[in-house]
Amino acid sequence: MKLTEVPAGKICTIKSISAEDRYLKRFVEMGLRAGACVKVLRFAPLGDPIEVKLGNAFISIRCENAGNIEVDLADISN
């Protein structure tokens, strides 16, 4: 599933990122990489951008770019 499809409040793990090099480099600089856990906090009122929490950082990502991030919903049942 894409990061843009994750409902607000859910935690997910990044599986892969397929983006242009300039965006991929920026994602890596921000800590967004395969295996990282992010929590989707909210979508802006018009649906774009999306705000996620990665560690102690709050990151806003345009949906155009967040759609290139494949994720798995985290199992937090434990």
The answer to whether 71 and 1 have CB atoms below 8 angstroms apart is yes
Q: What is the pLDDT of residue 26?
A: 92
Strand partners, 70: 2, 16
Q: What is the pLDDT of residue 15?
A: 96
Distance CA 51, CA 75 (A): 21
Tell me which of 10 and 47 has the higher pLDDT.
Answer: 10
Can you give the residue ranges of every domain in the chain?
A: 3-73
Backbone dihedral angles phi then psi of residue 3, each to the nearest 5 degrees? -60, -35
Question: pTM of the full predicted structure?
Answer: 0.85
Say which CATH class 3-73 falls into.
mainly beta
Q: What is the pLDDT of residues 17-74, one digit of tens each?
A: 998 899 999 999 999 999 999 999 999 999 899 999 999 999 999 999 999 999 999 8
